[in-house]
């Protein structure tokens, strides 16, 4: 990644371009359509910019929780994530945590509630969030069962199954990030870098 160019953009204190760059670095796979969802921590100002940048693109956003002046913003391609969450094994898994499967807006409300409970020290971290990020169910279960230890590989998430295939997927995500960052640094808009 062209670190000097990234630092030059960030040093200009241009909140719109900095936010575009933040999206490029953190969310390239969802922008390119190879991933259904992602979470990014943003300020309220960045949230408002992201809403404008993504308007009409097929990527939606939902504020999960906030603390002080930062928020966890859930970005998702609704058709893709709903298809993943509709899998019988995923639905059965989410029911354990009190999710009303089949009703995506209600599922987001429940996820937000679980996140807030964690922030208020009333509950443990909602590790089921991994399926909302389209992580393989086996990896999410492996993380929970192993308490985050004993993974076969770690990249965009901790891998407990299918190491070789997931590693190739991570490499593709890295390539997409390099491509999107380069395009943004060259002046492309978020819409121009999307699929």
Half-sphere exposure of residue 175: CA atoms within 13 angstroms, side-chain side: 7
**Nearest of 41, 25, 37, 36 to residue 115 by alpha carbon:** 41
- pLDDT score of 44 more than 70: yes
What does the pLDDT average to over 100-116? 93
Arithmetic mean of pLDDT over the chain: 92
pTM of the model: 0.91
Q: Quick one: pLDDT at residue 120?
A: 73
- The residues, ordered by sequence, that sit 6+ positions from 195 with a Cβ below 8 Å of its Cβ are 31, 32, 33
From its phi and psi, is residue 127 left (phi > 0), alpha (psi between -120 and 50) or beta?
Answer: alpha
Nearest-angstrom CA–CA distance, 130 and 21: 24
Name 44's bridge partners. none
What does the pLDDT average to over 97-116? 93
Q: Are 73 and 89 in contact (CB under 8 A)?
A: no
- pLDDT score of 9 more than 70: no
Nearest-angstrom CA–CA distance, 98 and 107: 9
Which tens digit of pLDDT belongs to each residue from 65-80?
Answer: 767 778 899 999 999 9
């Amino acid at each position: 990644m062209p670190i000097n160019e990234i630092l030059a953009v960030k040093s200009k204190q241009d909140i719109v371009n900095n936010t575009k760059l933040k999206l490029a670095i953190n969310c390239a796979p969802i922008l390119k359509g190879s991933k259904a969802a992602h979470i990014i921590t943003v300020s309220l100002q960045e949230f408002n910019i992201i809403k404008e940048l993504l308007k009409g693109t097929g990527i939606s956003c939902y504020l999960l929780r906030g603390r002080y002046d930062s928020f966890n913003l859930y970005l998702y391609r609704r058709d893709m994530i709903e298809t993943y969450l509709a899998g019988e094994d995923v639905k059965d898994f989410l029911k354990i945590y009190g999710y009303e499967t089949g009703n995506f807006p209600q599922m987001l409300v429940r996820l937000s509630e679980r996140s807030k409970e964690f922030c208020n020290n009333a509950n443990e971290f909602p590790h089921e969030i991994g399926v909302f990020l389209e992580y393989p169910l086996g990896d999410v279960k492996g993380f929970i069962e192993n308490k985050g230890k004993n993974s076969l590989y770690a990249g965009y998430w901790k891998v407990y199954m299918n190491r070789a295939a997931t590693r190739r997927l991570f490499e593709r995500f890295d390539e997409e990030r390099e491509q999107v960052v380069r395009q943004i640094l060259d002046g492309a808009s978020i819409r121009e870098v999307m699929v």
